[in-house]
Amino acid sequence: MSGGIPPRDRVRDAQSSLVNLAAEGAVLAPRPAAPVVAAPQQRPEGDAAAAAVVTAAGDNATMLRSGTIEKIAAMSTAGEDAASRADQPKIVALVSAATENGDPRYDHFTKRLVAHPSKLGRLEAPHLSSWTRVGRFPSPFKTNPRSLNLGLSFVSNNETILVDIIGHAQHETISREFLRCGPREFIAFHPQTVNAAIVTCGGLAPGLNTVVRELVCTLSRLYGVENIYGVPYGYRGFYSPNHNLRRLTEDSVSSIHHQGGTILGSSRGGFDLKLICDAVEDRSLNQIFIIGGDGTHRGALAIYEELRRRKCKIACVGIPKTVDNDFPLIDRSFGFDTAVQETQRAINCAKVEAEAAINGLGLVKVMGRASGQIAMFACLASRDVNVCLIPEIPFELTGDHGLLRCVADLFETKGHCVIVVAEGAGMDLISDDMRSYGTDASGNVKRPDIGLWLRARINEHFAAQGQEVNLKLIDPFYMVRSLPANATDSLYCSLLGQSAVHGAMAGYSGFSTGIVNGHHVMLPMTEICNRSRTRVDVHSRMWHRVLACTNQPSLCGSKVEEVPVKESGKPAKPMAT
- Specify the amino acid at residue 184: R
Per the CB < 8 A criterion, the answer to whether 323 and 481 are in contact is yes
Q: Report helix, strand or coil for 439.
A: strand
Distance CA 34, CA 20 (A): 27
Nearest to 140 by CA among 91, 187, 73, 197: 187
Distance CA 62, CA 113 (A): 6
- Which residues, including other chains, have CB under 8 Å from residue 561's CB and lie 6 or more apart? 393, 394
Residue-by-residue DSSP string for 148-210: GGGGGG---TT-EEES-----TTS-EEE-EEEEPS--SEESS-GGG-EEEEEE-SS--TTHHH
324 among known catalytic residues: yes
Query: What phi and psi values does residue 347 have, to the nearest 5 degrees?
Result: -65, -40
Distance CA 153, CA 185 (A): 9
Per the CB < 8 A criterion, the answer to whether 180 and 33 are in contact is no
Cα–Cα distances in Å, from 343 out to 173, 242, 327, 560?
39, 38, 20, 26
Distance CA 177, CA 39 (A): 34
Per the CB < 8 A criterion, the answer to whether 485 and 206 are in contact is yes
Distance CA 542, CA 554 (A): 16
Reduced 3-state DSSP string for 214-250: HHHHHHHHHCCCCEEEEECCHHHHHCCCCCCCEECCC
CA-CA-CA-CA dihedral for 463, 466, 469, 474, to nearest 10: -10
Nearest to 11 by CA among 74, 69, 65, 73: 65
Q: 125: which DSSP letter?
A: P
Question: Which candidate in 47, 103, 294, 324 is catalytic?
Answer: 324
For 107-141, b/e burial (b = at least 16 CB within 10 A) is eebeebbbbbeebbeebbbbbbeebeebeebebbb
| Residues labelled as active-site residues | 324
